[in-house]
Homo-oligomer: A and B are copies of this chain.
Amino acid sequence: MSQQDHTIINPPVLQRKVLITDCADAQGLIAKITSVCFAHQLNIIKNTEFVDHTQGRFFMRAELEGQFDDERLLSELRAVLPTQNRMKLVDMGKKRIVIMVTKEAHCLGDILMKSYYGGLDVEIAAVVGNYDVLQPLTEKFDIPFHYVSHEGLNRQEHEQAMLAVIQPYETDFLVLAKYMRVLTPEFVSAFPDKIINIHHSFLPAFIGASPYKQAWDRGVKIIGATAHFVNNLLDEGPIIKQDVISVDHSYSAEELAHNGRDVEKSVLSKALQLVLNEQVVVYGNKTVVF
């Protein structure tokens, strides 16, 4: 929405960027950082900080507006920050994603539809599937679909084939919209903190296969879904977003799965929105969601 405010309250010549900083906590950090921004005549549209007092770590996200001299800004900021800081200055413009799928349509369909009507501000560069089931749906929206079957290939060979298709798109993020194969560390390491997965359970409950069957066997009264970044441990990456729905004894395992789909798709698209807005900072195996 800030884009809209933008067009309302500012001349179009101004740029808008997000500055994300984290470093060891110290006194005066906000004053020092915002003073540098002020000296650059950058207007702070929105600012959030967080201090993890258990680890003595400071996090800050600022939406800045003005004319940017990135290099000078970052070096002047670096000069006032403790060593071992991390800084990221990114444009707030539209991001590009590639979506990986297998056979289920609901998560892909939701992202396609939301981006079509502007519910999600993203450029879908392509969809890649290890089955071609979702090709017709993808092409309804004039988005290229790449069918990369795993048939007759070992995992490495298949991932190489996927990479060959994905990398030319220079994607900002890779979205696993119910992509049902485990990725190798090699593949994951090609997209550090850039792969977003939706797991169809309320992690860490029901890790691994058939979570709805597991949930039904256990007789839970609530089911959920979890969107997380992918690292090298199955279903163990930093969690971005979770949500749940209530169920009861009358649901069969199939009905749990059927109803769970709505949570899966909404959690994935909410997580994706947060990531696209540069509101998510990965720190260790957790996220700070501003």
Contact = CB atoms under 8 A, between A and B. Distances in A.
Interface of A: 1, 4-5, 8-9, 27-28, 30-32, 34-35, 37-38, 41, 43-54, 104-106, 109-110, 112-114, 116-117, 119, 137, 140-141, 202-206, 218-222, 224, 238-244, 248-250, 252, 254-255, 258, 261-262, 266, 285-289
Contacts of A250: 50
A250 to B, nearest CB: 6
A38 B32 CA distance: 9
A277 B49 CA distance: 18
Contact of A34 (B30, B46, B287): B30
Contact of A254 (B1, B30, B49, B266): B1
B45 A48 contact: no
Contacts of A5: 53, 252
A129 to B, nearest CB: 14
Contacts of A261: 119
Q: Which of A203, A219, A238, A258 has the most CB of B within 10 A?
A: A219
A285 B34 CA distance: 31
B27 A41 contact: yes
A240 B221 CA distance: 8
Contact of A1 (B218, B252, B286): B252
B221 A239 contact: yes
A38 B47 contact: no
A222 B204 CA distance: 11
A30 B44 CA distance: 8
A49 B47 contact: yes
A242 B202 CA distance: 13
Contact of A218 (B114, B204, B255): B204
Q: Which of A37, A52, A242 has the most CB of B within 10 A?
A: A242
Contacts of A255: 1
19 contacts: A1-B258, A5-B252, A30-B30, A30-B44, A31-B31, A32-B38, A50-B249, A50-B250, A54-B252, A109-B113, A110-B113, A119-B262, A140-B140, A140-B141, A202-B205, A204-B205, A220-B242, A221-B241, A244-B244
Contact of A289 (B46, B119, B222, B248): B248
